[in-house]
A = this chain, B = another copy of it.
Amino acid sequence: MLIEEVAKLSGVSRSTVSRVINNDPNVKESTRARIKEVIRKVNYRPNSVARGLASGRTRIIGLVLPTAQSSLFTDPYYPRLIQGITAVCNARDYSVMLWLTNPEQEQNKIHQLVSDSLLDGMVIASYLIDDPILEALTKAGLPFLLIGRHPTRTDLSYLDADNFQGAREAVVHLLRLGRCRVATITGPNNMIAGIDRREGYEHAFHERGMSPDPALIVEGDFSESGGYTSMMRLIPQNPDAVFVASDTMAVGALRALRESGKRIPEDVAVVGFDDIPSAAHMDPPLTTVRQSIQGMGQLAAETLIQIVNEGTAPPHRLVLPTELVIRSSSGLCMDLIGQ
């Protein structure tokens, strides 16, 4: 079924049908109603490819995730993010194109992607700070939104959780409980979430006029097995607490602690980050910093769609708050729970 046939059935030109489809206000109400009725009756759907070519807008947004991230397969982070983004996009009649990039092909594939005008905009999640894709996107002039602030480029739009404050609160919590060898398993040092959470950790010490022991800081990779390995490296340093920069890594860290015969929280208190669904069911239930990943995904889609449509000048910057959720892995602490 073509727009031409709908026009014929409605007794108008295809221009007018097009106007109705695109909600152009310049159509007489009775005409609009008649055309809408015909469209409904014949179940007409405009060809989105033709619309894309004619209008220059495809109503498709790209979502780029890094395959390199080993956590891609173990962390519920990604499914939730995707869920948030697609929910909003579907509601607004946008489609989501998924790109898992791996470093080798990135150069080539991404350039192509960006310049073949298939996309109206992109969301870039879990990018590395020096990722070449940022350069390519900037050059291409395609609207895009980062999930995770960029540390140096002030011209880019982003959406982020307040990783610094979230981490800081987690570590303040541990220090207040009287832990004095608080270790951390960080995220990757080339991801902003890794850096910001580490700095929040350090800041919590500085506030009390202390400095963390460098031997208590170990880099992780946001994966479960990475959490295990890092915890194993940390145990000889005798930490009495550990702030793990993601719940998925905390799963591995708990496993390492159990295997080493450590009691949690008596010997080592543990705090994670994310509040993934299983956090409440871990053994023991995990104290963690909650962020709404699905909410981030939704807001990312809304913001990008707004940028695409209204062309509001970048940069856009949004930082979402986090919340410390206290469970038993950090030790009982009634007065804090009561807060």
Once the chains are docked, how many angstroms separate the CA of A278 from the CA of B58? 40
Decide: A118 near B78, CB < 8 A? Known: A86-B100, A96-B97, A100-B83: no
- Which residues of chain B are within 8 angstroms of A115 by Cβ–Cβ distance? 43, 45
This chain's copy number in the assembly = 2
Contact partner, A116, options B48, B72, B117, B224, Cβ 8 Å: B48
A188 adjacent to chain B (CB < 8 Å): no
A138 CB to closest chain B CB (Å) equals 16
Which of the segments A25-33, A49-57, A207-215, A330-338 contacts the partner chain?
A49-57
Asked if A48 and B79 make an inter-chain contact with CB atoms under 8 angstroms apart, the answer reads: no
Once the chains are docked, how many angstroms separate the CA of A96 from the CA of B97? 6
Contact partner, A86, options B46, B99, B118, Cβ 8 Å: B99
Once the chains are docked, how many angstroms separate the CA of A38 from the CA of B100? 30
Q: Which of A84-130 contact B (CB under 8 A)?
A: 86-87, 90, 95-100, 105, 109, 111-112, 115-118
Once the chains are docked, how many angstroms separate the CA of A105 from the CA of B92? 12
- Which residues of chain B are within 8 angstroms of A111 by Cβ–Cβ distance? 45
Decide: A105 near B90, CB < 8 A? Known: A116-B45, A278-B74: yes
16 A-B interface contacts by CB (under 8 A): A45-B116, A48-B117, A49-B118, A52-B52, A53-B53, A73-B83, A73-B277, A74-B76, A78-B79, A79-B79, A86-B99, A86-B100, A95-B99, A97-B98, A224-B277, A225-B281
